[in-house]
Structures are given as C-alpha cells and as structure tokens.
Amino acid sequence: MLKKIFISAILLLAVTCFILSLLKGNNSSKPVLPTSSYVAVININGTITTGEEDGGLLETSGTGTSSETLMKEIRAAAEDKSVKALLLRINSPGGSVTAAEETGRELARFKESSGKPIVASMGDMGASAAYWLAACQSDKIYADASTLTGSIGVYMPYMNTEELFKKIGVSSGKIKSGVHKDILSPDRQMTPEERVIMQKMVDEMFDQFVTTVATGRKMSPEQVRKLADGRVYTGKQARELGLVDEIGNYYDALAATGKLAGLGDKPLVKSPAVKKRWDFIFNAQLKDLLKQAVTEVLQGQVKQGPATLQVKG
C-alpha cells in the first residue's frame, strides 16, 4: 500500500512539473498585451556578473543580474518587430567590467541594427559597471535626485595574509610554471614588477570605461577623467556635471521613452517574465531527481515480479 501511494505521489509531481514546464515563461502577472507596439523594459538589479544564472533549487531572485540573461533579453527585444524602444531600469552598485562590456556590445548591436531609442532609468543606485551600461548607448539617462551614480573607475582587490600565517604557524609552498603564475597570491607580498603588470591591466580597463562614457555622453575623454576618480555622485550632482540628463523616476523615464519612440507619453510596456517560486521549486534539477526516483521504483517493481504489484485490502 505504501509503495502504491509513493508511486502515485511521484507520478503526480512529475505530471505537475511537466505542466509547469509547458507554462514556463508565461507566468508573469502582467496580461498579454493586445498591441503591436510597446517599450521593452530590461531590469538590471544587484551585482552585474558574467555568465548565466544557474537557476538552482535554493537560488533566490533579486540577488544580481547576469550578463547572459541581459544579452538574451536584449537580443529577444531586437528580434521582436513590435519593440519600438528599450528602457533600462537600473538598481545596481556595479559589478564586472567584462559583464558590462559584453552587455554593452549587445546594446550597441540593438542600436545599430534598429536605430530605436534606448533610455536608462536609475533607482537607488546606478554606479560603476551599472553606470557603464547606462551611459554606453542611452539617448537619455534619468536619475532621482538621491540616486547614487558615477563611480567611474576600476579596481582589482587582493589580500595578503602572510604575517597572519606566520603567527599561527602556517607556511605554504608551490611549484609553478612561471614566475608570475601565483600573482595576487595571498601568502606573499606582490613584487614591484607584478604591481606594474596589474596596474597596466587596471589602466587599460579604465581607459575603456572612460572612452565608453565619453562617447555615450558626447564628452571629451579629458572631461570624463576629471570626474572619474572613483567617487559616487548624487543624481542631482550628476545632472549638473552632465553624467545624467534629467531628474525623474521610472514613469518620467517611461514617458520620455514613449515620446522618443512615437508611442506617446503613456506607452504600453513588456518585460521578461519574472521568475516565481514555481520556477525555483520545479526546475530541471528537481525534474531529474523525480525522473530518477520513478525509474528506480519501477525497476524495483519489475525485478520483484508481478506479485509485488498486488495491493491487499
């Protein structure tokens, strides 16, 4: 009896997963828009990282944004003929230079292939790599007066625990193929030559950041460098310095986007479906576990023979 109940429960969960997989991507609380023209809203929240979100069972939404996700959303908008403009809704302290670079390249492709407007709207923060994305291709940048933005710069952190290791009697050694293979190792001091190497890397990425902002904001590199000492600015300060165009909230930015796209100041919007709890509970990993469990139970029943399938009252 217990085996039958267990098998029924497993099969029920498997069927539920299958049904939900068919509905995946259409679980947004927003209704399907009966229009052929709209503004695509792309949300950039939390730390911006390279790669793809793993969608694991214990993953929670809102912890960050991956460049893979952003690139897919931008490409989908570019291929959708009904998209008339992009609105980047940003609430991020920044993140990876590489993530900003590859996402920025997709924004450039969108602009070059379609000529459609891009507007950025900042919430609490739009700093560092997030400002990179706001500045690189946007026709207009909106920020609240209290938004923290700017932070134009690059840094590469490292830690030296050599003295701590000595105090607790821990020593380390390594066999390496080249003198700089363990550069930034925490168990030894960085050499002067290595510092020069790393500084050149940071300077190269910083030059790229400055060029991106200068081109996007139609400023000279010299003007940008004067503002690019790594500090953050309030939205009001950034407006005065030319780093943003207007002070306003999301709806102000949306109205401006609609006007630029010829859709009026109250355009309809469409954004990628927000992941909900079903996506995290009934994901591919759990489906694999259920499939494996069902297979094992059925195989066990076959090995035991038909008699074991009989249920006595």
Instruction: Supply the residues annotated as catalytic.
Output: 128, 181
Question: Which residue is it, tokens 């489906």?
Answer: 287
- Annotate 55-85 with b (16+ C-beta within 10 A) or e (fewer): eeeeeeeeebbbbbbbbebbeebbeeeebbb
Q: How many helices (H) and strands (E) does the chain have?
A: 11, 10
Question: Which residue is it, tokens 């039958």?
Answer: 4
d(CA 94, CA 46): 8
Largest Cα separation within the chain, whole Å, is 86
Q: Which long-range contacts (CB under 8 A, 24 or more apart) does 189-197 make?
A: 189/160, 189/162, 190/158, 190/160
Q: Residue 158: which region, alpha, beta or left (left: phi > 0; alpha: psi -120 to 50)?
A: beta
